[in-house]
Amino acid sequence: MIAWAKKVPGFQELTLHDQVQLLESSWLEVLIIGLVWRSIHSPGKLLFAQDLILDRNEGSCVEGMAEIFDMILATVARFRALKLQSEEFVCLKAIILLNSGAFSF
């Protein structure tokens, strides 16, 4: 994730403190949007990794996971309906990183 963040225009011009703050406050959302993107062509399934693909029934084995699973699947369905392009995905991912709510004054 750090290597990717360094490729975002302007990120390396920020102070190290600000870079760390942005990464610390956005890492979960950045990882989730990556999960959404990987899953876009697999309706009803989430592709955590090439060898770890779960459907809702498999994901609901973990207590409380069914609700999270459903929210992520709904987001995947919205992205699919919007026919999100890879360039749009990358821009959205960068916006999530840079708009994480971590401000240093």
Residue 64 domain flag: yes
* pTM, 2 dp: 0.86
User: What's the confidence (pLDDT) of residue 36?
Assistant: 98
Per-position pLDDT tens, the chain of length 105 = 999 999 999 999 999 999 999 999 999 999 999 999 999 999 999 999 999 999 888 877 777 888 899 999 999 999 999 999 999 999 999 999 999 775 554
Tell me the CATH number at 34.
1.10.565.10
Residue 105 domain flag: no
Domain containing 73 equals 16-98
Residue 7 domain flag: no
User: What's the confidence (pLDDT) of residue 15?
Assistant: 96
Q: At a CB cut-off of 8 Å and minimum separation 6, what does 75 contact?
A: 36
